[in-house]
Each structure stands twice: as C-alpha cells, then as structure tokens.
Structure 1
Amino acid sequence: MTGDARTRRANRAVAVLGMALVWILLWGTFSWANLLGGLVVAGIVLLVFPLPPVVFAGRLRPVPLARFVAWFLRDLFVASVQIAWLAFRFGYTPHGAIIGVGLRVGTDLNLTLTAEALSLVPGSLIVEVDRAEGVLWIHVLDVRDRAEAERFRQDVLALESRIVAAVGSPDEVRRTTEGGVL
C-alpha cells in the first residue's frame, strides 16, 4: 500500500470515528448499540457523500495554539462589546461591506479553520469561499470606509498567520510570515 493510500485510509478512519463520536453524543449515552450504529451511519455517509481529502501537513504547536486561543477570545470579547454598542445606538445605521481576502495558504484545512474562526466572531460572516483561488468573501458589519475595510483584511491575514503558526507545516508558516503580518 502506498503512502497516499495509507494516508487516505487513516483520514477516513478518523472521519468515521469522529462521526461515530458525534452520533453517541447526539444520543446522550454510550452503549455498544450506539457505537455500532454510529459506525454504520458514518460508513454510509462517507460512501454516499465522499469527503474531499483534507491532509493535515503540519503539526500541533502548543505555544502558538495558546496565542491563537488568547487572540480569538480577545476578538470574541471586543466584537461582542462592539455589536452590543451598535445595538444600543438609536438612530445610527451601521454600514456593511463584503470584503474578499485572498489567503496565503489555500488548503482546504486552512480555509475551513480561518472561515470558522471568523464566523464565530460577531460582526463577520462568511458569504462565500472560493476554493480554487483561496479567497474568503466576508460580510463585515459597520465598515465606514476603505481604510477600515483594509484594516479588517489585515486582521484576517493576521488570524490566518496565527492559525497556521499553531497547526501549519513549516512551508505554510514561512508563506504566512514572509508578508510580515502576524
């Protein structure tokens, strides 16, 4: 068996186990029947809806991961306060913008992690993902001018850098740090 086939098989096994775990959590109790049912359902789902191969080429780095989590929690808090402030500003109409951000690491894993982190922060929402070009199209609340749009774009690139620093390969880390955004 070649390395690619072995990697694909390992990725499928992880996906099946992950879906079986979600199945058990949905039922709320562990039983052998729930485990077996989860494995069967996961197997059927993967046969009917095959997943694109998502290869984890990097490694988990604890210090950059802690840095990412700290920044994410900070962003979550600041954005929540900003959205609350907007909600209580009577008579003020916030302006939204849709901003395209081309990521430097266009892997499916990086696109997904960056998009999820952005969508979890109030005030930003992923509108579209262009997998071929590695571009995230993001709706941003309360953008008044081009300078704020550019600042948001730089914030997205900084977020990508933190994610790649935490889980990316050395080549991916190099690609995100060459631009100087961190």
Structure 2
Amino acid sequence: MSASDAAPPASPDRRTRTGRWRDQLIAFGWLVLAWNLFWGEFTWGNLLGGLLTAAVVLLFFPLPPVTFHGRLRPWGLLLFGGRFVVELVRASAHVARIAVQPGYTPRSAIIGVRLQVPTDLNLALTAEVLSLVPGTLIVEVDRDAGILYVHVLDVRGPAALAASRDQVRAVERRIVEVIGSDAELRRVRTGSVDKEFP
C-alpha cells in the first residue's frame, strides 16, 4: 500500500466536533445522574425523567464547552482524598473552637487569588473544593482573569493572608496533580503567579 493510499488525518474541525459531542455526552450522563440523586432513588420513572430533563437542558440551555486535556492519576487522587479529609477535620475543629470560645471575635477577609491554570474546569473544581472546607467560601469568580475571590475566616495580619493564598494554590496544585496535563502540572509546580491581590 502506497503512502497516497493511506487515510488522511482527521481535520481539526472534525476533531473539534468529535470532542464537543463527547463533552455533551458526558454532561448528559452527569445531568441524568444528578437528577436521580436529587430524587434520592433510582427508578425507571426517575431515569426517564432524568433523560428528558437532561435533553431539554442541553438543547435549550447549552453549557459552555469544558474541554479536558489531562489524564486521571489514581495515586494523585488517593493523596488528594487523604489530604482533603485531613484538612476537613482540621478546619472543622478550628471553626468549632471559634464558635465556642467566649469573647473571641474572628476577623475575616476576602482575598483574590489568580489560579495558575485558569481553565473553566480547574476554576470550578478548585472553587468547589474550597467551598466544602469550613472557614473558606467562594464569593466571586472572575472567569476571564482566572481569579477566585475567597472569603476566609479568622485572618489576622499579612502572614495569615499569605497563608490563605498558599492554601488556595495548594488546593489547585493537588487538583492538577489528579487530572491535569503534563504541561499544567509543570506550571503549578513552578509556583509562578502574575499578580497579587489584597
């Protein structure tokens, strides 16, 4: 077989369409799963309702494309889960101590942290993980600039603000270590940040 007989490579447009359909199919599956979880049980009626609801949502309210260029690293996922549980317990104990400590008034702050991998997926996952930990809450996301604005509890002085920023970047780094591409992983490990925010 000659080189001219070989099948031509897929065009970029075709690859883009294929990736878009794959992303839509994944979103469809997640919407169906979420629908059934909201109802609290898996039945044929809930499955049918989820299929119809997911189809209507994706047809009339199309989601923005969220592409995934990384790969899942099981060891990184295991480390992420263990570290998340430790931080969850520690933060819960800290918030509980503040709540029961007589006469103590915690000081709060809102900090802006520019993520090193400002993709939609990384912004969403980092914001979700931070919101699950007591004492931190996402108040705004600047998608264009890749900045998370985080409300942090019990902050006293510049050192505590710097530690809070480091915590956000550590969460981002651990997420990228689970699902990021090799280039994204190199980027978060260099620790370069363009700009600080008060």
Q: What is the match of residue 5 of structure 1?
A: 17
* Equivalent residues of 2:91, 2:133 under 8 A apart: yes
- Number of matched pairs: 181
Identity of aligned residues (%): 52
Task: Kindly indicate whether residue 123 of structure 2 is the aligned counterpart of residue 114 of structure 1.
Answer: no
Unpaired segments ≥5 residues, structure 1: none
Change (3 A) 1:97 1:66: same
Q: Counterpart of 1:2 in 2: which secondary structure?
A: helix
**Could you list the per-position Cα deviations for residues 71-116 of structure 1 after superposition, in whole angstroms to 9, with x for gaps in the alignment?**
1111101100000100111111100000111100000100111101
Give the match for residue 53 of structure 2: 41
Q: Give how far 1:67 is off.
A: 1.1
The CA RMSD over aligned residues, in Å, is 1.6
Q: Structure 2 unaligned runs (5+)? A: 1-12, 194-198
- TM-score, structure 2 normalization: 0.86
CA offsets 1:19-77 (integer angstroms, 9 cap, x no match): 11222333444444432321111111112211111111111101111111111111101
1:94 aligns with 2:120: no
Q: Distance in 2 between matches of 1:171 and 1:60?
A: 14
Are residues 1:159 and 2:171 paired? yes
One-letter code aligned to 1:128: E
CA distance in 2, matches of 1:76, 1:34: 33
Q: Which amino acid aligns with 1:24?
A: N
Question: Displacement, 1:135?
Answer: 0.5
- Structure 2 CA distance for aligned equivalents of residues 2 and 107 of structure 1: 23
Task: State which structure, 1 or 2, has the greater radius of gyration over its C-alpha atoms.
Answer: 2
If the length of structure 1 is used for normalisation, what is the TM-score? 0.94
Match of 1:144 in 2: 156
- Determine the C-alpha separation between the residues in 2 that align with 1:99 and 1:134: 14
Aligned to 2:139: 127
Q: Taking structure 1 as reference, are residues 95 and 30 closer, same or farther at Cα in structure 2, changes over 3 Å only?
A: closer
How has the CA–CA distance of structure 1 residues 148 and 29 changed in structure 2, closer, same or farther, with 3 Å as cutoff? closer
Structure 2: distance between partners of 1:74 and 1:29: 31
Tell me the secondary structure at the aligned position of residue 57 of structure 2: helix
Q: Which amino acid aligns with 1:120?
A: L
